[in-house]
Chains A and B, each alone.
Chain A
Amino acid sequence: MPDATQRVRVEVKVNGQVHLREVEPRLLLVEFLREQLDLTGTHIGCDTTYCGACTVLLNGQAVKSCTVFTVQADGAEVTTVEGLEKNGELHPIQKAFADCHGLQCGYCTPGLMMSALQLLKCTPEPSENQIQNAIAGNTCRCTGYQNIFKAIATAAERMRSAAHGD
C-alpha cells in the first residue's frame, strides 16, 4: 500500500488565472475545480465518464473532468463554465440556452455549454448531425434535447453574425 502523503506541485491556468497548488495525485480535476478553487459551476453527475455534466475544456478540448487527474492538467489551460461570461455579458452560448429554453433543471447545462463551445470554435456553421454528435457525451434528463439543439444552432448563428460584424 503506497503512502498517501505524496503531493505533486501543479500549475494550472483556469479561466485565464494561474493557480499553483500541491495536490494529491488521486485528486480529480473536477474536485480540484470545485473543492480547491471554489468553481462549483462544473457539476458532478454520474462520476463514471458517462453523463458529461463535468465537461470542461482542457487546452481547448472538451474532456470529462471526473476522468482526468489534476496532475495531468499541470501546465494546461482549463476553461470552465465560469469562464464563458465576459465583463458581465453572457456568452452567446449562455444567452441562446436561456432564450431557447435549452435548460430546465440546469444540472447538465454547464457541461453541455462547454461541449457546444468546443464544437462552435472548430465548426462555426454546424449541421444538425454535427450538433448531435458534439453533445452525444452529454446526458440531459429534462429537456428531450430539442431545445438544446435549437440553442446551439442559435448560438452558432449569432456568433457568425457577430464575427461578420452585422
Chain B
Amino acid sequence: MYPRAFHYHRAKTLKEASTLLTQLGEGAKLLAGGQSLIPLMKLRFASPDHLVDLNFISGASFIAEEKGHLRFGPLTRHAEIEESPVAAKIPILHDCAAGIADVQVRNRGTIGGSLAEADPSGDWATVMMTLETRVTCLGPKGERSLGLGGFVKDAYTTALEYDELVSGVSVKIPEGKSGGAYLAFKRAAPVYPTASAAVQLTLEGDVCKEAAIALGCVGLVPVRVKEAESALLGKSVNTKLLENAAEAARAAAEPQPDMRGSAEYKRQLVAALVTRALAIALRRARGERVEVSHIYA
C-alpha cells in the first residue's frame, strides 16, 4: 500500500523543524517514529502534503536525570527507555516502555510522537498522568512548558499549535516510599490495549499519603479517577480499601463498546486491572522488586 504522494523535508534541528512547519502551514506533519503515522497514511486516514522528518536530528534522543527529574528527548525510542537503567528509577515507566506493541515497533516509536499523537489508546499519556509530567513545546516564539493534563486536550488533539513540536518531556521522580505499576490488557502484542490502568502510590508507614490512578482506552483522553484515589488517601491500606478503589474506577470509566468488547466488559476489566496494579504498586512502594508484564487475552 502506498500513501498519497507527499513532499519530504529533513530537519537538522528541532528549531529548523518548527520553522519548516511555520513555512509549510497546516498541510505539514512531523515524522518521528512513524509507527502510527505511516499506517494512517497508507490507509489514507491521513494525507499530509509535507512530511518533516525528525529522525536525522542529532541529540534529540536521550534520557537524563537532573534535580530529581527524568528528562527525555522527544525522539527517545520506547526500546531505549525499556533498556535504560536511568528510566528504571521510575518502574512504571519501564512497565510502559517494555509493553508497548512489539520489539519492532518499540525500536522505532518515540515518546514525543506518542504524546503528540494523543491516541486515546496510547500508553504513555496514561502512565505519565500518574506522575508530575511536563511537556515542553517548541515553536516560532520559543519554548513553553505545559503540565501533561493541559497538553492532552481531546482524542488525537493536544495543545500544540500547528507549528509547534514536542521538544522534551520531564517527569518528577516520586519521593519517599512510592511505587507504581502499569498494566494493559491486550489481545495480542501488536495491538492497542482493550483497557489499561496506571497507579502510583506513596505510603507513610502503612497510610496512603499520595495516590494517582489513571485509566487508558476508556475515554477520549486518559482519565484520572479522583474517586478511586480518595478511596485510598489518608487511610491505612488494606484489601477492602483496594476493592473500594477498584469499584470507584469501574464506576468512573466511560468505555465505548467496539470490536474489543462491550462497555460493561471493559468496566469489569478496568476494575480487575486497577486491583492488580494497586497490589503491585503497594509491593513496590514497600521496596519489593516486582516484574510486570501486560496481560494477554
Contact = CB atoms under 8 A, between A and B. Distances in A.
Interface of A: 1-4, 6, 8, 24-26, 28, 31, 47-52, 55, 58, 61-64, 66-69, 71-72, 74, 115, 118, 133-134, 136-138
B32 to A, nearest CB: 11
Closest 9 pairs between A and B when the two form their complex, measured CB to CB: A137-B102, A25-B8, A136-B189, A4-B5, A61-B107, A2-B7, A64-B104, A137-B104, A2-B49
B2 A62 contact: no
B190 A49 contact: yes
B102 A2 contact: no
A67 B34 contact: yes
Contacts of A71: 8, 10, 53
Nearest to A115: B103
Contacts of A118: 103
Most buried by A among B7, B53, B103: B103
B80 to A, nearest CB: 10
Contacts of A138: 102
A49 B105 contact: yes
Interface residues of B, number: 35
Contacts of B104: 52, 55, 62-64, 115, 137
23 contacts: A1-B49, A25-B6, A26-B5, A47-B42, A49-B38, A50-B191, A52-B102, A52-B104, A55-B104, A58-B107, A62-B103, A63-B107, A67-B38, A67-B39, A68-B34, A68-B38, A69-B38, A71-B10, A118-B103, A136-B190, A137-B101, A137-B103, A137-B189
Nearest to A60: B107
Interface string B35-47: 1001101110000
Contacts, number: 98
Contact of B8 (A3, A6, A28, A115): A6
B107 A49 contact: no
B161 to A, nearest CB: 22
Interface string B234-268: 00000000000000000000000000000000000
Nearest to B101: A137
B108 A26 contact: no
A64 to B, nearest CB: 5
Contacts of B10: 71
B55 interface: yes
B284 interface: no
